[in-house]
Amino acid sequence: MYVLDGICKVFDGRTFAVRDLDLKIRRGERVALIGPSGAGKTTLFRILNLTIPPTSGTLLFDGLESRHFSGRRLRDVRRRIGTIYQQHNLVPRLQVVHNVLSGKLGSWSVWQAVQSLIRPAELDLALGALKQVGIANKLYERTETLSGGQQQRVAIARLLVQNPEVILADEPVSSVDPTLAAGIVRLLIDLSETHCKTLLMNLHSVDLAFAHFPRLIGLKNGTISFDLPAAAVTDEHLAALYAGSGTEAAEEEIVSRAEPSFGRSCQPHLTG
């Protein structure tokens, strides 16, 4: 689904967010990205969903080179990629049904979108998506009245309506209660497996990554620290990944795992 060769992203002409990334993601694969804050994970996701172009290197999506995407072709490819963000990116004052149906904006005309704001179109599609995420009874609720976990489910339902081939989940559980986090991760995995989607998830929780993903990629300072099956990742790998991050949460993640469960250069300093 993706082939990255020597991908670099530079901001302000001097700050590298990611550098020299070589990566392949197979169709239908389930992969978790882990690493300290500022490692470049979100920048990588923005490159993968074609929001920003790489500064250098080659990105292939389904065998197509990204530098050739523009205009309508770029919009068509973006429709095949769905992204779930930490902030949900919902319109709080709209009813849930309208936020869910915004997943169709990439394929609707402007007139269809305006009409749907007056009288929701494809109501059965929205209701079916909400049933899959377990909140069908919230169809006409104002989105701002929902809990954080329910709003994340609305964002997932919107993605189901979009029906992309690839799901990029960028810290999808960091704004919900930890007791709900595993349920949302499991929901995304179940949906990706049921509908044969490629799933990449950016997670701060190492335990969630180990529990639900067969392949883990560690990202640090904009480079890949390791890319291994979960069973091959050791506490030594994690210690090296989070060394010097200065975050108590990262240290706790490493300490909590008492048993193993498991080139080229760009110059200046790096940030995430």
CA 19 from chain centre, in angstroms, equals 19
Collapse the DSSP code of 229 into the 3-class scheme (helix H, G, I; strand E, B; otherwise coil) and give the result. Answer: strand
Count of CA atoms in the C-beta half-sphere (13 A) of 7: 29
Check whether 254 has a pLDDT greater than 50. Answer: no
CA separation for the pair 152, 149 (Å, rounded): 5
Query: How far is CA 130 from each of CA 55, 88, 101, 157, 190, rounded to the nearest angstrom?
Result: 39, 15, 11, 6, 15
Check whether 225 has a pLDDT greater than 50. Answer: yes
For 149-202, how does the pLDDT look when each residue is reduced to its tens digit (9 = 90+)? 888 889 888 888 888 999 999 888 876 777 778 888 888 898 888 888 999 999
Query: How far is CA 63 from each of CA 48, 165, 221, rounded to the nearest angstrom?
Result: 14, 14, 28
Check whether 268 has a pLDDT greater than 60. Answer: no
Question: What tokens were used for 75?
Answer: 């919009």
Question: What tokens were used for 17?
Answer: 């967010």
pLDDT at residue 245, rounded to an integer: 66
Average pLDDT over residues 115-141: 82
Pairing of the two strands 64-65 and 56-61: antiparallel
Q: What angle do CA 248, 215, 6 make, to 5 degrees?
A: 90
Length of the chain (residues): 272
Contact 222, 28 (CB under 8 A): no
Candidates 116, 53, 58, 105; CA nearest to 79 is: 105
Check whether 224 has a pLDDT greater than 60. Answer: yes
pLDDT at residue 153, rounded to an integer: 87
For 71-110, how does the pLDDT look when each residue is reduced to its tens digit (9 = 90+)? 888 888 888 999 888 777 888 898 998 888 887 776 656 6
Work out the angle between the directed axes of helices 123-132 and 148-162 (0-180°, nearest 10). 130
CA 221 from chain centre, in angstroms, equals 19
- pLDDT-derived band at 138 (thresholds 50, 70, 90) equals very high
Output the CATH code of domain 1-80+166-272: 3.40.50.300
For 23-68, how does the pLDDT look when each residue is reduced to its tens digit (9 = 90+)? 999 999 999 999 998 888 989 999 999 989 999 999 999 998 988 8
The residues spanned by each domain of the chain are 1-80+166-272, 88-163
CA separation for the pair 232, 228 (Å, rounded): 6
Percent of the chain with pLDDT over 90: 39
Average pLDDT over residues 8-20: 86
Average pLDDT over residues 237-266: 55
CA separation for the pair 28, 25 (Å, rounded): 9
Contact 199, 30 (CB under 8 A): yes
